[in-house]
Amino acid sequence: MANPSPIDQLSDRLERLLVRYEELMRTNTLLTTQVQALTQERDSLKSRLSAARARVDALLARLPETNKSDTPQGSL
């Protein structure tokens, strides 16, 4: 086989680069979609955590105040 000409070599390399570029673009699109989904999930979890904290704080506020002197001796 004869050695390919520099133009053929350059053409082959350019084709490989274009294929790689398309692969990277598809990968980037998929990763961008995943980041958006994870960002939405994080925001949802943060909101749920905030609501849960508010509920816990409300429950704690409803508990009667206890003093150490009110606590039976054996329970400390």
What pLDDT, on a 0 to 100 scale, did the predictor assign at position 69?
A: 58
What pLDDT, on a 0 to 100 scale, did the predictor assign at position 56?
A: 97
pTM above 0.85, yes or no: no
| DSSP state at residue 63 | S
3-state SS class at 47: helix
Counting every residue written for the chain, the total comes to 76
From first to last of the 76 residues of the chain, give the pLDDT tens digit.
678 899 999 999 999 999 999 999 999 999 999 999 999 999 999 999 999 999 999 999 999 987 655 556 655 5
Q: Which residue spans within 1-76 are E strands per DSSP?
A: none
